[in-house]
Structure 1
Amino acid sequence: MMIAASLVFIMHLGFACVESGLTQSKNTVNILFKNTLIPCIGLLTYALCGFNLMYPGFADGDSQFWFKFAGFGITTDAAGLTSAYNVGYTYWTDFLFQAMFAATAATIVSGAVAERVKLSTFMVFSIIFVAICYPIAGSWKWGNGWLNRLETPFYDFAGSTLVHSVGGWGALAGILLLGARRGKYTSDGKTKPILGHSMPLATIGVFLLWLGWFGFNGGSVLSADPGLVSLTLVTTCLAAAAGGVAAALASVIFLKKPDLSMALNGILAGLVGITAGADQMAAGSSMLIGAIAGVLVVFSVLFFDKIKIDDPVGAVSVHLVCGIWGTLAVGLFGEKAGMPQFMSQLKGVIAYGVFTFIFAFVLLLILKIIMGLRVTPEEESEGLDIGEHGNVAYPNFQANH
């Protein structure tokens, strides 16, 4: 479990590489700064209140409130054990593994609002989103809350909805309130591509994320059970591979050229798609889920561009659209397939969507009124590295070019 936690931790470096690689060089320091502080904020807020919001330990006799708060800080008994049935899985192991998940939701938002959001506003949003929204939503399932107590319990093995869709809904709220980057959509309704500055960096990031998913999904077994861990890792990798191939083929068919960014997002789409049911699927089902996610992400990116929703890294397409698909797929494939499970999955998707989107939208709207949400046109044109940080990521390159 400690190794799995370490693998999830390294995913933050993957997100940093993907986001900076797929955006302009003049905003690199800004993106790296956000991706550096978010895991720090996530760990601290999760220790202070997040863990005890998310894991209140609803007893069978408890009334099914939508959340319950167990108090501030992290404490345990002398033995430090979480449960009798998982030998060696201590309270501290539980905290650290779950804490590594916590900040991921805000990291997803970071990429979607990149290149035009005010740093101070985004950091305040991240603190509140990670400290309150994510753990309350998480408690509904993983904290044995109301979604886990349905007649057919909602199922989300490692977080297609609890982590990825929660981040995706927050990202969508941010995009809608911010608007598109300057110059992205022309007056005649056409889309002008704003190319990322480093495809090697984006590629490194995706493979770091794929590596991290060995901990994200493999660790979610919550034990070293050889059969279940190995099955989970196989289904995870097959879905990722199928997503990459399907997205690459879709880009050739619909864009007339093999698009690297689409193939990279296809891998991530497959990973997000399999995450809800990675322990439930056979090899063939996991490939199909991943392939559908890979095609979905291409259509989704093109659709959002068509309706002028500007997402620089495709975060909403990868994490929200494919998170929803992966969650619903649990009711269509694998050991839990069937109409009762599908309806429970649908209830969960709707519940998380309504709560998270409204929470994020209202929070960002309040912050917009109080602090302002978007940088000035001059700062956006010059780059957030200079405007927000007084620094540049590539001084020699920028001086000579």
Structure 2
Amino acid sequence: MDPIYLMNNVWIIICFTLVLLMQGGFILLEAGSTRMKNAGHIAGKTIFTVGVASLVFWAVGYGFIYGEGNAFIGLSDFFYGDFTSVVDGLAGSVDFMFQLAFAAIALTIAFGGFAERGKLSAYVVFAVLFSAIVYPVVAHWIWGGGWLADHGKQDFAGSTVVHLTGAMAALAATIILKPRIGKFNKDGSANDLAGHNQVYTALGVLVLWVGWFGFNAGSTLGVDDAFFGYVALNTQLAAAAGAIAAMFIVWAVSGKADIPTTLNGALAGLVAITASCAFVAPWAAVLIGIIGGLIVYFSMKLFDKARIDDPIFALSVHGVAGVWGTLSTGFFATPELAELNGGAAGLFYGGGLGQLGVQTMGVVACGLFAFVVSFIILKVMDKTMGGIRVTEEEEIIGLDLSEHGSYGYPESMPDKKQGA
């Protein structure tokens, strides 16, 4: 057997593992960014929903994305199990596993909009429907040979497919669920419902940062030309620039080098470079990260002013930075890399407005689809399930106890049975 074929498959399984381990980063990030009384719930529901996403992706998701069909959706390869197929130079099962990990990440991002107030039953139902209906359609349009792929849409590792799609579903959830108790005052000003553990949050960001090399560099789908090293370089530079830019802007504006903002800046840099990591020069990756770090800070403030309660800043980090990352290839894609990876050169390399127009069209179409379909699903769920938000009493108690019957930190928050 060809040794390069074997190496490519081993590489992608390693990258699948890195992307799957990003779920651990999300557990730490989301738990640390929220209050202690909900920490166990956040950790547990993440594991459960990854399980749901995996089964739904196996049953129908992969087929809707990559199956033979039309420009809108795939219509074959359901209940995937072909051990003889070869896809993009990989064993079909290896490609399946890698793509599955991306679908699970998109769902986890979407669930950021549910944090601290969504019912567990709502997580279960929405996990099934998002994994079957929302994510696969967007992924098919861009990665599965759909209509945006035909137009040359550039999204190397998923600023649109994964991050914007998840963020728009999160936006739909935040609107329907409404803000957490105590988040906003009557005059519209926002209160800081601070997360309980900044060390968890920082460690979560670092785990995500490491996992992102599986996300971006793994999307090369091989090792034979070592292009994954170039993608990794751009990824590292953008993340570093995003963290530094966010820290300095919040420091300049508020007088304090706010830690959560710095961490979100690193993530914004990572999200922004995800679409463009294979299309741009390293200097552009730095600039893309800097702008990502700046816009994540200002968008966080904007969402607060709009009374949109986003506990883990999914809308800013994954939504706004995802839009910027998608558009950035329309500005900075080099002719050589565009020829290698698809699409056309960006505006600043003499490519005109063509690629930027395609990127803009992709953002609008995918963002609207993900938001509208998610909103409809959640609205129907809200009307038919007796609401998708926990009661006021359950929210005050915390979801650890109200949804699971035990605390994530039982020694710090003992119940009456323990002699409290």
Normalising to structure 2: TM-score of the pair?
A: 0.90
Q: 1-side partners of 2:101 and 2:74: how far apart?
A: 22
CA contact (8 A) 1:34 1:110 kept: no
User: Structure 1: how far apart are the matches of 2:188 and 2:362?
Assistant: 36
How far apart, in 2, do the equivalents of 1:106 and 1:346 lie?
23
Which of 396, 399, 402 aligns to 1:387? It is 402
Matched, 1:349 2:349: no
Matched-pair contact (CA < 8 Å) for 2:40–2:409: no
The 3-state SS of whatever aligns with 1:75 is coil
Deviation at 1:226, TM superposition (A): 4.4
Are residue 48 (structure 1) and residue 59 (structure 2) matched? yes
Instruction: Give the 5 Å matches for 1:358-369.
Output: 358-369=372-383
**Aligned positions of 1:212-223 closer than 5 A:** 212-223=211-222
Q: Deviations over 1:160-194 (max 9, x none)?
A: 00000000000000001111101111113221110
Q: Does the Cα contact within 8 Å between 1:57 and 1:143 map onto a contact in 2?
A: no
- 1:88-99 equivalence runs, <5 A: 89-99=90-100
Distance of 1:68 and 1:115 partners within structure 2 = 36
Shift of 1:213: 0.3
Q: Distance in 2 between matches of 1:262 and 1:161?
A: 22
Alignment-derived partner of residue 81 in structure 2: 75
Q: Judge conservation of contact 1:174–1:361 (CA < 8 Å) in 2.
A: yes
Residue 61 of structure 1: aligned partner: none
In structure 2, what is the Cα distance between the partners aligned to 1:390 and 1:38?
19
Q: How far apart are residue 341 of structure 1 and its match?
A: 0.4
What amino acid maps onto 1:48 in structure 2?
A: A
SS at match of 1:200: helix
In the alignment, structure 2 segments of 5+ residues that lack a partner are 1-11, 335-344, 348-352
Measure the CA separation in 2 of the matches of 1:188 and 1:347: 37
Matched residue SS, 2:142: coil
Query: Which deviates more from structure 2 when the two are superposed, residues 279-288 or residues 103-112?
Result: 103-112
1:124-139 correspondence to structure 2 within 5 Å:
124-139=125-140
The within-5 A match list for 1:101-116 is 101-116=102-117
Q: Which runs of 5+ in 1 are unaligned?
A: 59-63
- Give the Cα–Cα distance (whole angstroms) in 2 for the partners of residues 241 and 135 of structure 1: 31
CA distance in 1, matches of 2:189, 2:80: 52
1:236-251 correspondence runs (5 A) = 236-251=235-250
> Does the 8 Å CA contact 2:71/2:145 hold for their aligned counterparts?
no
Count of matched residue pairs: 389
* Correspondence 1:11 to 2:22: yes
Structure 1: distance between partners of 2:72 and 2:86:
26
- Aligned residue for 1:235? 234
Q: Secondary structure of 1:279's partner?
A: coil
Pair 1:121-2:130 in alignment: no
What is the aligned partner in structure 1 of residue 5 from structure 2?
Answer: none
Cα distance in 1, alignment partners of residues 117 and 366 from structure 2: 27
Q: Return the offset for 1:57.
A: 4.2
TM-score by length of 1: 0.95
**Residue of structure 2 equivalent to 1:370:** 384
Structure 2 equivalent of residue 271 of structure 1: 270
Deviation of residue 155 (structure 1)? 0.8
* CA displacement 1:238-294 (0-9 Å, x = unmatched): 000000000001111122210100010100000000000101111110000001000
Retained in 2: the 8 A contact 1:101–1:163?
Answer: yes
Shift of 1:298: 0.3
Q: Distance in 1 between matches of 2:110 and 2:229?
A: 31
Q: CA deviation at 1:68?
A: 2.6
Counterpart Cα distance in 2 of 1:65 and 1:240: 34
- Counterpart of 1:322? 321
Deviation at 1:395, TM superposition (A): 1.1
Residue correspondence of structure 1 range 274-353 to structure 2 within 5 A = 274-335=273-334, 336-338=345-347, 339-353=353-367
Please report how far the alpha carbon of residue 29 of structure 1 lies from its aligned counterpart in structure 2 after TM superposition: 1.3
Preserved contact between residue 81 and residue 93 of structure 2 (Cα < 8 Å): no
CA distance in 2 between partners of 1:248 and 1:123 (Å): 37
One-letter identity of the residue aligned with 1:34: K
Encode CA deviations 1:36-55: one digit per residue, 9 max, x unaligned. Answer: 11211111111111111100
Give the secondary structure class of the aligned counterpart of 1:330.
Answer: helix
Residue identity opposite 1:130 in structure 2: S
After TM superposition, the structure 1 stretch with the greater mean CA deviation from structure 2, 287-296 or 107-116, is 107-116
Give the 3-state SS of the residue equivalent to 2:40 in structure 1: helix
Offset from partner CA, 1:24-43 (integer Å, 9 cap, x none): 00011111122111211111
Report the more deviating stretch, 295-304 or 333-342.
333-342
Q: 1:234, 1:225 → 2: CA distance?
A: 17
Q: What CA deviation, in whole Å up to 9, does each residue of 1:140-172 have, x standing for no partner?
A: 11101111112xx11100000000000000000
What percent of counterpart residues are identical? 40
